[in-house]
Amino acid sequence: MLRPLLLAAWLLALPCAADEFIDFSAIKPGQQGHGLSVFSGTVPVRFDVKAIAVLANSLPGQDLLLVRCAGQDLEKTGIIAGMSGSPIYFDGKLAGALAYAWTFGKEPIAGVTPIRAMLEELKRKPSVPRSPPGLERLASPLLVSGFTPALMKALERRLGKLGLVPVMGAGSRPAGDQQPAVPVPGGAIGVELMRGDYNASAVGTITHVDGDRVLAFGHPLFGLGAMALPATGADVHVVFSSSYLSFKFASPLGSLGSLVEDRQSCIVVRKGAQPKMVPVRLRVRNSLTTREQRFAIEVVDHAKLTASMVLDAAANALDAAEASGDELTADVRITARLRDGRELAIADRFHNGRGGPFNLESFAPFLELPDNVFEPALLSSVDAELELTPGRATAEILDAYPSVREARAGERFEVHVLVKPYGQPPRKLSVALEMPAEVAGDTLELDIDGGSGLKPDAASPEDLEGLLRRARARFRASDLVVSLDDGGRALDRRGFYVDRVPGSVGAVLGHETRPARSRVKTPTEWVLSGYASTSVGLKRQVVAR
């Protein structure tokens, strides 16, 4: 059946194959036309459109054609997420791609991107995308599989503002079961962000095929310009009708090529190209059940997308490992390897609140790595080691006091810190310190914090190596950190950090210095919150006369 279906799709695409286009200026209000899109399976079918008006300069340097759609149950469903890119024809000529709609619109009215603007993407870069007030680009369904309901909601909050609507879908078929996709106007197209044991693919519609290049969506995916993301065919199982948002329920098919341009008027896919993906291995162990699971995925190789996709996958693995809704503690270690042989390994402890998904945002150094301002940090692979422990391993810092009121320079003493573990009586932790030789005002101020949110004792980075060095020096949320403020100044200049400089140097360099804070770190078993402070006087040596 495959060849007859492809033949039918090719016949539907004949107006496009003849390279016949029509400008918006030649289309009159009330003029009848038609569009092509897939509503079930893989074969595009016709729906009716009627021209309403041309919205001049709706986007920077770009008009939109307003049309009313009918047929294929669009009067019931409204404009459907996943129809982005559906080719629109008048007088048998291609006018453009259905791409925009009004939020909460009751009628199937849409905005069409002109094909002329899309063809320009084969030659030049247009302006930065921006939708006019009230008009929103059609949402693209982000079909995800292997994700828990809690992570689906988290993805919706983060990606919804980008025009992606996460919906539960089916995973990719095994590579051996797939045939390369054949692109036709009106056919469904997918863009893979993640594949393997977890999958995430944005779905839209093909507008035009020009040799080995395919124009689709009629609007940007992310608006990130030149990039390389895997593109696939897509099988539409059903159209889900909703008063809030109707969408195509689909799953990815065989490879189509690589998305190479993500621009204002469309995405451009080059047929046959195979973009590089970043392999990610996840190992999660549940200490309550002693069950260990391993997952293998690939995520897109892009500075602004890779790290967040890895953290989404790690949070999902944790959430899936123990879906009881009980409070849990997680120890997470992520190792990112660069193609030049360098690597960054960071670890932390997390608490998930009242059974919600883990928030791994404290891994900001990992997020900064691919998108740094110094040089490309190309990832070769990522490993994530995850361990779940039942219960709430948190503690609040209540108070602190020193073992002595005064100490001589170089003399050892202790600061006692009172912490309150959750569900337990307060406990005392003791940290050994040494009195500095010089203290401003003869009083050493001591600040006691948990490591979360504290800046590391490292120079502000001036290159990628400095960024790696600073990331490795970060504190963990379970670190008890005592900061000694003796009133001195530290130098942070051109990638170098000196924790003590003479007062005369500090006066000259001014803005390149900061308060010097010697820090003593003590690992604990809890995710710490709260704060305490105390002080110790400097006992001066009495000189006999």
Is 544 a member of any domain?
no
Q: Which amino acid is at 350?
A: F
DSSP lists the bridge partners of residue 483 as 447, 519
CA distance readout (Å), 219 to 39, 101, 131, 246, 326: 20, 12, 10, 18, 43
The pair phi, psi for residue 54, each rounded to 5°, is -100, 125
Say how many domains are in the chain: 3
Query: Which stretches does DSSP call E strand in 188-241?
Result: 188-196, 199-210, 213-216, 225-240
**Strand 213-216 relative to strand 164-168, pairing:** unpaired
Contact of 188 with 235, CB cutoff 8 Å: yes
The pair phi, psi for residue 147, each rounded to 5°, is -100, 145
Q: List the domain range (segments joined by +) for residue 462.
A: 394-538
**Does the pLDDT of residue 142 top 60, yes or no?**
yes
| Dihedral Cα 294, 298, 302, 303, nearest 10 deg | 10
Query: Using DSSP, how many helices (H) and how many strands (E) does the chain show?
Result: 9, 29
> Would you give the DSSP letter of residue 266?
-
Q: 362, 390, 418: which is the final residue of a domain?
A: 390
- Per the structure block, which two tokens stand in for 170? 């089916």
pTM: 0.82
**Does the pLDDT of residue 510 top 70, yes or no?**
no
Q: Examine the domain organization and report whether 1 and 116 are in the same domain.
A: yes
Q: Examine the domain organization and report whether 229 and 358 are in the same domain.
A: no
More reliable by pLDDT, 257 or 156: 257
How far apart CA 20 and CA 90 sit, in angstroms, is 10
As a whole number, the mean pLDDT across the chain is: 85
Is 169 a member of any domain?
yes
- Per the structure block, which two tokens stand in for 85? 């890119």
Q: Which amino acid is at 491?
A: L
At 174 the pLDDT is 54
Q: Examine the domain organization and report whether 385 and 400 are in the same domain.
A: no
Q: Examine the domain organization and report whether 318 and 173 are in the same domain.
A: no
Q: Examine the domain organization and report whether 18 and 143 are in the same domain.
A: yes
How far apart CA 363 and CA 472 sit, in angstroms, is 11
How far apart CA 161 and CA 163 sit, in angstroms, is 5
Q: Which helix (H) or strand (E) holds 167?
A: strand 164-168
Q: Determine the length of the chain.
A: 545
Tens of pLDDT, residue by residue over 121-132, are 887 543 444 444
How far apart CA 209 and CA 205 sit, in angstroms, is 12
Burial of 294 (0-12, 13-18, 19+ CB in 10 A): exposed
Is 375 a member of any domain?
yes
At 320 the pLDDT is 86
Number of neighbouring beta carbons within 10 Å of residue 441: 11
Q: Examine the domain organization and report whether 295 and 263 are in the same domain.
A: no
Is 543 a member of any domain?
no
Q: Examine the domain organization and report whether 505 and 449 are in the same domain.
A: yes
Q: 216, 242, 275: which is the final residue of a domain?
A: 275
Q: Examine the domain organization and report whether 265 and 320 are in the same domain.
A: no
How far apart CA 467 and CA 462 sit, in angstroms, is 7
Q: Which amino acid is at 269?
A: V
Contact of 204 with 216, CB cutoff 8 Å: yes
**Does the pLDDT of residue 489 top 60, yes or no?**
no
Tens of pLDDT, residue by residue over 29-87, are 999 999 999 999 999 999 999 999 998 887 888 899 999 999 999 998 889 989 999 99
Radius of gyration from C-alpha coordinates of the chain:
29
CATH of the domain at 315: 3.10.20
Is 402 a member of any domain?
yes
Is 545 a member of any domain?
no
Contact of 319 with 357, CB cutoff 8 Å: yes
**Strand 379-390 relative to strand 277-286, pairing:** parallel
Q: 242, 275, 308: which is the final residue of a domain?
A: 275
pLDDT band at 152 (very low <50, low <70, confident <90, very high): confident
At 456 the pLDDT is 85
Q: Examine the domain organization and report whether 265 and 335 are in the same domain.
A: no
Contacts of 281 (CB under 8 A, 6+ apart): 294, 295, 296, 381, 382, 383, 384
At 354 the pLDDT is 67
The pair phi, psi for residue 47, each rounded to 5°, is -135, 160
Is 17 a member of any domain?
yes
Is 491 a member of any domain?
yes
At 448 the pLDDT is 97
**Does the pLDDT of residue 151 top 80, yes or no?**
yes
Q: Which helix (H) or strand (E) holds 448?
A: strand 443-450
Q: Examine the domain organization and report whether 290 and 368 are in the same domain.
A: yes
> Which residue carries 């992310």 as its tokens?
222
How far apart CA 195 and CA 139 sit, in angstroms, is 21
Tens of pLDDT, residue by residue over 421-472, are 999 999 999 999 999 887 877 889 999 999 998 888 777 888 999 999 999 9
**Does the pLDDT of residue 6 top 60, yes or no?**
no
Q: Examine the domain organization and report whether 244 and 136 are in the same domain.
A: yes
Q: Examine the domain organization and report whether 99 and 241 are in the same domain.
A: yes
- Per the structure block, which two tokens stand in for 86? 């559906």
At 129 the pLDDT is 42
Contact of 218 with 85, CB cutoff 8 Å: yes
